[in-house]
Amino acid sequence: MEPRYAGHKNTVETDQESSLVQAIYKYVNVTGDKSILNENVGGKSVAERLEWAMQFLMEKRLNEKYGLIWGATTADWGDVQPEHDWGVYFTDDTHYAIDIYDNAMFLIALDNLMELLPDSKNKWETVRNLIAENTRKYLWDEQNQKFIPHIYLNGSPFPADFNENEIYYHGGTAVAIEAGLLSKEEIKISLEKMIANVKASGAGSIGLTMYPPYPEGFFKNKGMYPYGYQNGGDWTWFGGRMIQQLIKNGFVEEAYLQMQPMVKRVKDNDGFFEWYTVDNKPKGSGTFRGEAGVLYKGNYHVRRIKIKLKLTGFA
């Protein structure tokens, strides 16, 4: 509502609305302050705006054939499309697609919304269940025990002989686990695949965005070279989310082991960086709060469980 504030909305990604709901949910959980939901902003309460954000996705980003939300083609959870030098806006060349990350984020947001606003449950629970069902139906590759990268709605931006399903998306898989889409056995297999990918690539941690990365030249943005930025860069921002989900689903020892290289490089580099190269060199901001936050939360839960085990005589 502030005309002097200069900003832009990345249109290729479909996670901003879901992220807004999740952020308010986290705020309320941490502070216990539900009064924010009644705050009036531009003629609507925050509660109304949260539902409005979810309604936008249903009205503007829902594909009727698949019953899933769509965006532009991106690399896993990334927000850069292949067809433009910068890649953050829809263009005439955009190839629209459905992916696991956007839909998993939407599911988490709907769960959060129904908890924040119990009276909305009748409206959103059916939507949530349909999105979850269709995600498993259309995006989960049962034979290969992984999520396919994309369902294309107007063709693929990549060469016809390119087998995109060879790529394993680490970040989208972690968020799908948070959304409750995978069984415990599927989580175990997912972790095994991530560890194998780290070994094959030589990366530093399971924060590796994907493996293998898209080949050179598949993205016009020069930063999206193989193992660069979102195309196979190693992001604790998402690796740390996988740690949290491993703990939540009972893989505590595995979580502790996989978190070690993430913590070590923070100490070695004296900072929280956005991402790391395949040879574990830091890139981007050295005060990246996304990395700091997920590591703190993961470490907090590991410590709590270790203390509980000691108190009960199991450790």
pLDDT tens per residue across span 139-181: 999 999 999 999 999 999 999 999 999 999 999 999 999 999 9
State residue 108's pLDDT score: 98
Mean pLDDT of 12-37: 97
pLDDT at position 311 over 70: no
State residue 310's pLDDT score: 66
Pick from 99, 20, 12: nearest CA to 52: 20
- What does the mean pLDDT of the chain come to? 95
Residue 67 lies in a domain: yes
> Amino acid letter at 247?
I
In which domain, by residue range, is 87 found?
16-311
Q: Residue 84: pLDDT band by 50, 70, 90 thresholds?
A: very high
**Structure-token pair, residue 122:** 């009748």
Give the DSSP letter of residue 81.
-
Residue 2 lies in a domain: no
Mean pLDDT of 9-32: 96
Q: Provide CB contacts within 8 A for 95, sequence distance 6+.
A: 72, 73, 81, 82, 83, 152, 153, 154, 155, 156, 157
pLDDT at position 314 over 60: no
Residue 9 lies in a domain: no
State residue 220's pLDDT score: 98
Q: Based on C-alpha coordinates, what's the Rg of the chain? A: 20
State residue 301's pLDDT score: 74
Residue 4 lies in a domain: no
State residue 152's pLDDT score: 98
Residue 7 lies in a domain: no
pTM value? 0.95
Unique residue bearing structure tokens 């004296």? 270
CATH number of residue 186's parent domain: 1.50.10.10
How many domains does the chain divide into? 1
Residue 36 lies in a domain: yes
Q: Specify which residues 97 forms β-bridges with.
A: 71, 152
Mean pLDDT of 229-235: 98
> Amino acid letter at 195?
I
Pick from 144, 127, 156, 7: nearest CA to 68: 127
Residue 158 lies in a domain: yes
State residue 103's pLDDT score: 98
pLDDT at position 312 over 70: no
d(CA 147, CA 140): 5
Mean pLDDT of 194-216: 98
